[in-house]
Structure 1
């Protein structure tokens, strides 16, 4: 078998993620074994291909050391076949697969939709568990929408800043504490344990909110709920990704937004279902039941975690390889696939250990000091900011009050709010189907101006005189419903998907922690300021304020946000290595009327990378 020799010409090499250009020359010889490329020269490329520079003999030698280290002698033959399969997935005949293994190998390679989703029952159970955790998240967010109409009155909360503080309490806790405790919980309790703890906190918080007796106890009970929000939102998508095979990893990761939208809808339904329930001696029973109902879904999720396998990747990070193999055997259709994925995860963990800075301070420093990482952070923080400042959570938290201001009765306002939840869930489905075909930028560029127009329309609808109540009500409801139609496929799924894929391996955990904190931090600001914003700007001005933010989002996306659709890791390095001012200049030239419609020589290389025609390296 010919040996492969790779030589590299590295120009302007810098720290990981800063490489300007790498030219690869492929030479093959049938003589003696070629020397492996040096560690320093290949580290960047090995992020794309961790098997780079290894022969099959090297892989088997590595596996033998693994078997010896973790006392896996009884699994040696199975793991050896899996390692050989991981190294070369095309020539499977050399593995002498059984008929059952041949069947599942063919299924895995088949492009048919039904074969793609031919997974184990346990894999579907994990998907159901993660979807249920997302439902908990969504319901926690919107049960307050109808409940606030009651507890503001019962507790005499008239100050708009106090109203916003109480409604935004979970997100204040999340940005200050919840997002940063997630890595600690994951380290000591695993993915399943973190999901169980966060859902248990949701149960306790919901029950406490339903039993509060003054506004500050209500604030405290909602603040405690924020411990769960940050941990659950960062852990559950990771758990889904680490358990799923590559073919459905993207789909399972993006289901978080769809089922969060379903939970948001359930929160609105609970508000309608419990409205008007009164029992003598129990004041405010309706809004108490609305808040306490959020404790029901997490009970089921807590029970489900006991039957789900732990993340194989987490188990291997704790050197529990035997348990990881058992977990993979429950998640994959045959032991050959389980053994292959075990070795594949192992070699990628070794690469991550090699790349990842050892201290939290070093990871944070590298996130902002390396230009490639800094541009990824800029883009991720932007989409997280705009998920809030597009104005969606004004509707999630305050739509019932907005509908009452428009002239609805309380009961009709709750029903109208439920409609926004239904629309949000239904139109999240097209977003999941198009995010990998149309792209992230396309979804944002289409939906930002559309959402701005809807918010302007909604705000201006409040100029309709109150004596023409039916027209005013109809216009406000139409504007809000149409806004949700645009939000759900765009700013709904894009932010978490975009952020998760933008950061390189070495700083991915730290980058996502900062990105998630950005999301929940601006969520709190929106919840806190909306009542005061209405007072200061009027309802018309407050809606126009967020409409203007959508116009800003469109401009920033057009000029400064790189596309990440369908690009492997080495291409994203090239894309994020382009300076923001070069990206801006390229899109300025491509802008109709302003630009000339073509790219000049000085930006030809930038255009090549942006358009995906040449991704050899940074321009």
Structure 2
């Protein structure tokens, strides 16, 4: 039940995470009579509470997106007189703004803030995990090689990993391992059952609990178990948050909106390391460790509060044969998020065809705007080989003799990556 023009399909098909099926492609060139029939079926089955003529106006604008964009930008007052839909001044301004201005949809600020906060928490947690590695003795791991500060001066060779190194490595790797092993996979059933916002709330609760729990761990085994819970939360959130972003954003800016995840993850890492340095100045090592490990509970609390005010994804209510199916709710949400009723009806009508999947995050700040101009494929082709070479160089740098040179080379290639 969808009508898409080639122009609109190009925009949605290029957006990361969006999918268009064969049925949508076959309905690209419906006649006006076929469009009216399609709208009538959609209206009677899904959205009978709204005016059918208004829904038909929105569908016609969606079908000829390029033409109506040109009409909206034209200074000729008679522009578009031959088209079936005559746009109001407010609608023209809204159609121009949604394509030209990233923050034209002011009602989207709640969603943008929530998504950014979730990404910030992701990076902050990673910094907390790294910072805790400075205190392995507090977990019963006194023989970690990297903490033997006097080994270089005494001429000892401690480059060979000890058993404690492997234990510390396991505790550090466990969140990411279980994020991939369980968290990401659990995100699908959670999103189906309680929605994107509900899945994010579950993830925030898991990170909240694991952050407080890890602050009171006295053994590496206890920390390992707590970080498993933390990793599950990270995995669920990493999958659910970009889906919420993609399914609420205007199609023209969907790619940029999703990529804001990576930007705020990086910001969270930076702020997390800054707090690690502040906590490191505490005279009591145990207190410093507790502050580093427990700090993520603060942004996780703010995330839970933000989720209370954040709207659910409209597509969550547009899934047939599910208990959550309620097109009217989807329309009400889009009515809150868009500037005009025309845009809300248009996006409600198109949301069958915009199936949002899991997104791979490999871009940084330079890609935020150019992702919609240079293209996704070109960015991948240019960056992935470079990243692979730099990671290989970082790995080979571990063979360098001399601790200072080895650390410097590894850090150089990691940061370049």
TM-score (norm 1): 0.53
Question: Are 2:260 and 1:255 aligned?
Answer: yes
CA distance in 1, matches of 2:353, 2:261: 28
Paired with 1:50 and 1:319, the residues of 2 have a C-alpha distance of: 25
Structure 1 position 122 matched with structure 2 position 129:
no
- What is the distance in 1 between the residues matched to 2:367 and 2:86? 42
Aligned to 1:582: none
- Whether the 8 Å CA contact 1:51–1:87 is kept in 2: the answer is no
Structure 2 CA distance, aligned partners of 1:223 and 1:249? 32
Do residues 277 (structure 1) and 282 (structure 2) align? yes
Aligned length: 355
Q: Deviations over 1:84-127 (max 9, x none)?
A: 21222244442122111122223345xxxxx3324222223312
Corresponding residue number in structure 2 for 1:486: 416
Paired position in structure 2 for 1:439: 379
> Do 2:128 and 2:292's aligned partners in 1 also have CA atoms closer than 8 Å?
yes
The aligned counterpart of 2:238 is 233
Q: Which runs of 5+ in 2 are unaligned?
A: 1-19, 69-79, 144-163
Matched residue, 1:328: 334
The 1:98–1:151 alpha-carbon spacing in structure 2 relative to 1, beyond 3 Å, is same
Contact 1:119 1:332 in 2 (8 A): no
Separation (CA, whole Å) in 2 of partners of 1:268 and 1:316:
41
**CA drift at 1:221:** 1.2
Q: Paired residue for 2:8?
A: none
**How far has the Cα of 1:290 moved from its partner?**
0.2
Alignment partner, residue 54 of structure 1: 30
Alignment of 1:64-79 (within 5 A): 64-70=40-46, 72-79=48-55
Q: Quick check: 232-241 or 50-59, which moved more? A: 50-59
Distance in 1 between residues matched to 2:314 and 2:21, nearest whole Å: 26
Counterparts of 1:400-439 in structure 2, within 5 Å, are 428-432=364-368, 437=374, 438-439=378-379
Alpha-carbon contact 1:454-1:479 (below 8 Å) kept: yes
- Of the candidates 339, 345, 351, which is equivalent to residue 351 of structure 2? 345
Is residue 169–residue 226 contact of structure 1 (8 Å, CA) maintained in 2?
Answer: yes
The equivalent of 1:540 in structure 2 is: none
C-alpha contact 1:148 1:287 (8 A) present in aligned 2? no
By how many angstroms is 1:452 displaced? 4.2
- 1:235: Cα distance to partner? 0.9
SS of 2:133's equivalent? helix
Instruction: Report the alpha carbon displacement of residue 161 of structure 1 after superposing the two structures with TM.
Output: 2.5
Do residues 178 (structure 1) and 183 (structure 2) align?
yes
User: Once the 2 structures are TM-superposed, how far is the Cα of residue 253 of structure 1 from its aligned partner?
Assistant: 1.1
Cα–Cα, structure 1 residues 327 and 100, in superposed 2: closer, same or farther, change >3 Å? same
Paired residue for 1:264, among 269, 272, 289?
269
CA distance in 2, matches of 1:211, 1:224: 15
- Pick 1 or 2: higher relative contact order, CA cutoff 8 A, min separation 6: 2
Residues 180-220 of structure 1, C-alpha deviation per residue, up to 9 Å, x if partnerless?
21111101111111111111111111011012233322222
Q: For the residues of structure 2 that align with 1:104 and 1:138, how far apart are their CA atoms?
A: 35
Q: Where does residue 551 of structure 1 map in the other structure?
A: none
Q: What is the match of residue 81 of structure 1? A: 57
Query: Which residue among 392, 402, 415 is the counterpart of 1:463?
Result: 402
**Does structure 1 residue 315 correspond to structure 2 residue 317?**
yes
Distance 1:128 1:168, change over 3 A: same
Flag the 1:454–1:221 CA change in 2: closer, same or farther, 3 A: closer
Distance change (3 Å), C-alpha of 1:95 and 1:447: same
Distance 2:318 2:21 in 1: 24
- Whole-Å Cα distance in 2 between the matches of residues 145 and 66 of structure 1? 52
Residue 134 of structure 1 contacts residue 256 of structure 1 at CA under 8 Å; is this kept in 2?
yes
Gaps of 5+ in 1: 1-42, 110-114, 357-379, 388-426, 465-471, 488-619
Say whether the 8 Å CA contact 1:145–1:271 is kept in structure 2: no
| Alignment partners' CA distance in 1, 2:136 and 2:415 | 30
Summarize deviations over 1:27-48 as a string: whole Å, max 9, x none.
xxxxxxxxxxxxxxxx97545x
Aligned residues of 2:21 and 2:353 also touching (Cα < 8 A) = no
Q: Match of 1:117, SS?
A: coil
Report the more deviating stretch, 284-293 or 139-148.
139-148
CA contact (8 A) 1:209 1:222 kept: yes
Q: How does 1:414-563 map to 2 (within 5 A)?
A: 428-432=364-368, 437=374, 438-450=378-390, 452-453=392-393, 456=396, 460=400, 462-463=401-402, 472=404, 475=405, 478-487=408-417
Question: Alpha carbons of 1:187 and 1:454: their partners in 2 closer, same or farther (altered >3 Å)?
Answer: closer
* 2-structure distance, mates of 1:247, 1:346: 17
Segment drifting more, 189-198 vs 164-173: 164-173
Inter-CA distance 271–91: structure 2 relative to 1 (3 Å threshold): closer
Q: Does 1:246 align with 2:251?
A: yes
Indicate how the Cα distance of structure 1 residues 90 and 454 shifts in structure 2: closer, same or farther if over 3 A, else same.
closer
| Distance change (3 Å), C-alpha of 1:185 and 1:272 | same
Counterparts of 2:388 and 2:139, CA distance in 1: 39
Counterpart-to-counterpart distance in 2, 1:88 and 1:216? 61
Compute the RMSD of aligned alpha carbons: 2.9
How much has 1:151 moved relative to structure 2?
A: 3.8
